Structure 1
Amino acid sequence: MTHVSNDPAWWPYIKWCYILNYFIVASSTAVVYDWVLTFAREFELVWRRRWSFVTVLYVCVRCIGILYSIVYIVGNLPFSITDVVGNIFYFMQVWIPVVVNAMLGVIMMTRIHAMYQGSKIMLVFLGAVLLTCTIATVVMTGIGNIKASAVDVVLSGNRMCLSLGVADTLNREIFIPTLLWEVIALFLAVRIFIKHIRELQKSRTESTIGDCFTALIRSHVPYFVG
């Protein structure tokens, strides 16, 4: 059932939705453009080689990310959808980031584990922290959306899918466990990087140190920036 409202109180929300939609479309376009430019290299380095666990995670993250963008854009297109479809779209938008963040966490854990020369103690520590943060995120997401439902609405002539019964305060705090994990991962990566730089300073030239710095920055910093 479609609900119609012309209440001016919804105008700030409508404006925010427009801005968010523009951002989603722009970022999705950038991702697709980057994918087209790098597909040949990806095909050579990923698809033609024997797959590992990290490769599977990489492909899943990419495919799920594309699915998330499609679901979000379709859910905000100006045509009517049933409440059931709206609920499916809403819960996909809620849970896909949780799943993707967990996968990215495993990928980053693998990288840091390799940076620490395969230390079992570090692997156990990283696994425990990531598991704790992921469970906390799952629990908070579940509690915050346990009574949530999506309805088809028309607000001042703008058709959209609106979520009801959402615990906004708890949902705004869902990012905290993920942020905690990323801060810890960043600290550990910077720590081993500094240690490695100090070792290089004792045995190699500044140019080699600069090359090492560039390589580490390119491979690890984008994860935290993204």
Structure 2
Amino acid sequence: MISEPELVGEESFAAPQTLGAVSAPGPDGAGVTDDAVTSLGPRGPRPAWLWALGGAVAASAVWAGGLYALGGQDPDLGGYRATDNLCAAAQLKNLQTALGKREVEGMPAQFEHATRDEAHCSVELKPTGYEPEVDEEGNEVTSLPGVHLTYTLHKKTDPGPEFDGTVLARQEAWGADPETAAVTGIGERAHVARGEDGSTITLDVLDGQAELSIAVTGDWDPASGDPATDVTELEGLLVQDMQALMDRLRS
């Protein structure tokens, strides 16, 4: 315990002090003159509660400093890691069963930074027995289902507060007016957006520090220009393939 300092007479803190002759300008803009100079009288002994208050303030400063240090730590990534090939990580077993096999791995792209990692992948699925249409000039007119995947791992900031706004902003930027609904049972939060004509479906998932998206576009009937497959009915398969991808990115 810190005891009150021993006082040796009342003159221990009693040395008179004199303010300087000129100080900062007063309220009317004029400097303080010699007439305003005063002498401070003797200081009395400091009350004991001041010493206790000083200790409490010091302890509070240490506690606050500890909270600040903890707040500066990097967030828990929940086992997620960067990937150098999102196409290889995304097996898409259920979508391939429903829409067609992918004959090539796809087109992966990735970006790594101290604050965030990003990865993208685009693949085409070829239905069994698919034959491209030929136009009047003999040119092949291809129409294949496609899948585009994105994966963002936030390594410094929490993506949670902006997740819903990010999803809606992207959909609006595409110029689409899809039917959007919440999806339960996968990740921390998830949304599915279905195109009105049945040609597109997108699943967006937030899982801790990771944001993932799988967008599926169906094939088209070259003669009519209408969607040949209603991919909005594939939500269940899309959720299963997304969960499998999340598991692989955490392995």
Q: TM-score range by the shorter chain?
A: under 0.3
* Greater per-residue strand proportion: 2
- State the structure with more CA Rg: 2
Whose RCO is larger (CA < 8 A, sep 6+)? 1
TM-score (norm: length of structure 2): 0.22
* Greater per-residue helix proportion: 1
TM-score (norm: length of structure 1): 0.24
